[in-house]
A and B are shown apart, each in its own frame.
Chain A
Amino acid sequence: MAHHRILTANIEYDDQRQIAAYEKRGGYAALRKALALPPEQVLAEVKLSGLRGRGGAGFSTGMKWGFVPKNSGKPVYLIQNADESEPGTFKDRLLLERDPHLCLEGMIIAAWALGSRWSCIYIRGEYAYPAVCIEQALAEAYARGYLGKNILGSDFSLDIILHRGAGAYICGEETGLIESLEGNPGRPRIKPPFPAVVGLYGCPTVVNNTETLAALPWIINNGAAAYKAIGTDKSPGTKLISASGHVSRPGVYEIDLGYPLLEFLNNECGGIRGGHRLKAVIPGGSSVPVLRADELAGVCLDYESLQAAGSMLGSGGLIVLDETSDMVETALNLQHFYAHESCGQCTPCREGAHWIEKIVKRILAGRGTAADLALIESLCGQIGGHTICPFGDALITPVLSLMAKFPEEFSRLIDQGLDSLVRESYG
């Protein structure tokens, strides 16, 4: 199946990050076109395209923009979320490094539609090289009149700055990001009010993922109807899938949404690494439920199909595990991640994340009891839905789904209490 190349059309060209090459391949034509349209029409086009947020939530981008109040008298802020930190996800890094002007052009179009005059790219601190690529692209865009005062001779003026994070997963959550951008620890805020109404410095704010913004130039160039015609009815367009783990050809792939997951694994990723069998996949970054190999028949890579299968498309971070994977060890690896990344603001998450990690560690060491499994379930029940941000729900998902899908791997350790010496060495 031939897939559309909306986001990665020019990703192979080494000179693509230079503005002259970007322009030569049609770059910034969409911005010219957008600036000739009234902002309301750009917003309407994006709404019509059916584009959904690619950071993980999958919420309608046009609808999110529509929540910004008209004429509030306050500045509107647009933030590009390039804090890519969901385990298994590395797609935005590709765009930022290889086609930084695409990320900027989409952002300038969005700022025009939203009436933003000051915008910010929030990039995770570890992405030092992508940050250099974006800094250079910003300087070039200013020099060529795509940023700054009176862009392309219009009365639209926009400044974009780059803000580096400093190693906190929680800043990918939009209100944690806003707190961080205000110069604070990135502790998420209670919603409502939503950022569209009360965001950065108390002003209307839209936070959009890099991949979401990078789709806008194509949509403006080709029209909403053309975008909507790709993918499925409810999941239109293309999506970047980051494939990692036990596949022959890991990497970032752009697919039309609705592509069968098993076909994707076999045709794009070259199947499971030599001599091994597929055991499970975590399809949308580590915070979504795991699916066993026998649950994947007929499952497609789109929001609805994965939801029907009991998981989520999330960020498109597809982690593939073969039969050598120990699911209790997998649970411990991920619980350690969540325990380390909890911002510490809400008691259930702060205390529960470490507590669950300790219990899983005990089970893996062969010292668990049957009561421990019930204790994990009870703790998860106390965390889920009881925290300010979705991190609480995210942290209980891997362990609960691994226990539900691979109960024998947990109970075997508890029944026999074996292997403790070998397993002590873990971590």
Chain B
Amino acid sequence: MSNAQTSVPPPTRTATTRNLGLIAILGSVVLALLGLFFTAEDVVQGSSVRIMYVHVPTAWVAYLAFVFTAVCSAGYLRGKKHSLNLDRLAGASAEVGVIFMGLTLVTGSLWGRLSWGTYWDWDPRLTTTVFLFVTYVGYLAVRGLGGTQQQRAKRSAIVALFAVIEIPLVHFSVLLWRSLHQEATVLRPNGDVRMDGLMLFSLVFGVAVFTVIFAWLVLHRNRVLALVDAVEMRGIDAALAARHAEGVPT
């Protein structure tokens, strides 16, 4: 059963992945031009608003990644043959999600430094982000616990579903928590800006480009994880031979 699922994965050198990569590169260049040169400054925030074109897409990708992890995990648990490929997709997606969530934190606090004068503010969105970052670092730790590949898949799939339930719960409770302290944020810009047409387009464009980057990264990371699994199964053949030899008197 595991054998069939861990044979050497197909290469990623397909037309689809190559085109995805090209779109991601071109899109990034266009996004950089739009964000840095063509869009206007914000009336209140000035040039610092330009971080938004990176910050919002990274946050979007992180949430997308975590939801995708949950969907793959549910698919793994529901599926009759318990596809290890779905498990690896879930893992690859969570890895990319953690990296982008980290980028969200960095870009968010840089923006905070420029517009709030401080790297950190207990803004509900930023606070939720920290909790989810740690939660998914925990998920990745669970993936590394060891055991057989099916054990890993089942264990991490359940933890992934728990983690995705935590997203709205943590966000909602942090939101409630901050609503008691409104006076602190009323005086400051809270991140929402009045956008003209090009700014809005650039933001949506950025989200699209980052989604393509996400897809490209997950495809490649998934193949690497499949190769790691395949190497492990090869190692088992060698280990079996060594184990058999134990009985041979020397």
Binding partners A and B: no
